[in-house]
Structure 1
Amino acid sequence: MLSRSRPQTPRFLSLTRFKGHPMTHAPSLDAFPFHARDKLRYSDTDQQGHLNNAVFATFFETGRVEILYDPQRPVLPEGTFFVVARIAIDFLAEVRWPGEIAIGTGVAGLGRSSIRLTQALFQNGKPCAAAESVVVLMDAATRRPAEIPPEMRERLSAYLVKAEDAGD
């Protein structure tokens, strides 16, 4: 006989939270310790004239990459690389071309080999999407997770969002 019990909502499907509230009550860009910008391209739109949902992940990547691969302040130890282990995106509002996207990024947590990031996209100051991602530092030779070295931990601490701010 089939069970009629209601399935549990997986944790990764819950809304990203900021300051204990769902991201539908998102903060301004200024609430994030790191900011990046990207231009909306006409080719990013779909038949409805708004930003295609797949492009949101690209904008979140811009925010991650500018922190993790900044050539002016490199954090990546030689012989290592990052992989994205998880990304969850909540779509909050339509984004229309033309314009620009502002990306807010903060470090929500540092594990032994992982970095949890919280992010939001804004168009004209309005929150449009929120994401939580986890990247893992990998050893290029062994292809296994590598421990985050103290120098990297210190550098990334500048972008930490307090636990209560991240909703943890």
Structure 2
Amino acid sequence: MEKEEMAFHHQMPAQLRFSDIDQFGHMNNSVYFSLFDMCKTRYFIDVLGQHIFDSLGIVVAHIDANFLAPIFYPDEIVLQTTITHLGTKSFRLFQRAINKRTKEVKCECNTVMVFFDTVHNHSIPMPESFKQKIAEYEGDNNLLTK
């Protein structure tokens, strides 16, 4: 499925702060990662439950972003998140920051995350119940067979 055709079931508005703006008048590139982290956390809580982080760690193994167009204060931004792949211990997220009014994509972010045992300091398999919940939420049973 092409990125433009992707369905984003999880969306969250992002409020820009004056301190997010750099000397060029647009949102500093480092702020995107903070906003995407906030949205990832909200996704996990909304899909996997309030206590997701009580017993498991989920850590970033890789992250990259394409900055397509600047965001200026006071643009209204929406963050979109979807999971595009479920592996044994890792999964891939695709996120976008879009202008709420124009729907212009401002930034795209790909992240590989790993389930992690913080007590024993090693990766662990993703619980099958989590895979089921994610596939159901995303409306994509192919996630379970990829």
TM-score (normalizing by structure 1):
0.73
The two structures, once aligned, show a CA RMSD in angstroms of 2.6
Aligned residues: 140
Structure 1: distance between partners of 2:105 and 2:48: 29
Is 1:40–2:16 an aligned residue pair?
yes
From 133, 136, 149, give the equivalent of 2:114.
136
Deviation of the 1:100 alpha carbon: 2.5
Q: Is the 8 A contact 2:48 2:134 kept in 1?
A: no
Per-residue CA deviation, residues 48-105 of structure 1 (Å, 9 max, x unaligned), is: 1000011111121122111123498247375311111111100011100013210111
Q: Is the 8 A contact 1:75 1:152 kept in 2?
A: no
Change (3 A) 1:47 1:78: closer
User: Where in structure 2 are there 5+ consecutive unaligned residues?
Assistant: none
Instruction: Map 1:1-168; keep pairs closer than 5 Å.
Output: 19=2, 26=4, 31-70=7-46, 73-74=49-50, 76=52, 78-123=54-99, 124=101, 125-157=103-135, 158-159=137-138
Query: Which one has the bigger helix percentage?
Result: 2
Q: Is the 8 A contact 1:87 1:131 kept in 2?
A: yes
Q: Is the 8 A contact 2:79 2:96 kept in 1?
A: yes
TM-score (normalizing by structure 2):
0.84
Structure 2: distance between partners of 1:87 and 1:101: 21
- Per the alignment, in what secondary structure is the counterpart of residue 31 of structure 1? coil
Amino acid at match of 2:8: F
Structure 2: distance between partners of 1:161 and 1:50: 36
User: Where in structure 1 are there 5+ consecutive unaligned residues?
Assistant: 1-17
Structure 1: distance between partners of 2:19 and 2:53: 36
Deviation of the 1:160 alpha carbon: 6.1
Structure 2: distance between partners of 1:108 and 1:65: 17
Structure 2: distance between partners of 1:36 and 1:75: 20
